[in-house]
Amino acid sequence: MLFSVSMFPIGSGDNLSHPVADVIDEIDKAELPYQVSAMDTIIEGSWDEVMPVIRRAHQRMIAAHKRVYLSITVDEHRGSSARLEGAIADVDRELGRIVAR
């Protein structure tokens, strides 16, 4: 399963790098495959592996900020694994070239 997570405080100014880094730190500690982008972080794992990580990251952020935005999107592709890289490789194959990363 792939989990797209976007989490940040609201009303904390323009620079969100510190609170977002706290979320990424929590995700990194879980030792699950993940990818960071400018808009979200994609984590690969089972529901039972990933949801506690998201919960810990949320608890960490809400402890430091009065209002937190959290969005989670889940792509469950049963019977497949390594989708974090595999989904991108599928598009590369379809296009016949490596897409910009």
Is the CB of residue 54 less than 8 Å from the CB of residue 72?
A: yes
Q: Which two tokens stand for residue 46?
A: 């089972």
Question: Which residue in the block uniquely carries the two structure tokens 């979200």?
Answer: 40
pLDDT at 2: 94
Is the CB of residue 44 less than 8 Å from the CB of residue 74?
A: no
Ordered by start, the domain boundaries in the chain are 2-95
pLDDT tens, per residue, the chain with 101 residues: 999 999 999 987 778 889 989 999 999 999 999 999 989 999 999 999 999 999 999 999 999 999 999 999 999 888 777 777 777 788 888 888 888 66
Query: Computed from CA positions of residues 29, 51, 56, 19, in that sequence, does the dihedral angle turn out positive or negative?
Result: positive
pLDDT at 72: 97
Is the CB of residue 8 less than 8 Å from the CB of residue 67?
A: no
pTM for the predicted model, two decimal places:
0.83
What architecture is the 2-95 domain classified under in CATH? 2-Layer Sandwich (3.30)
pLDDT at 62: 95
Per-residue DSSP letter, 49: H
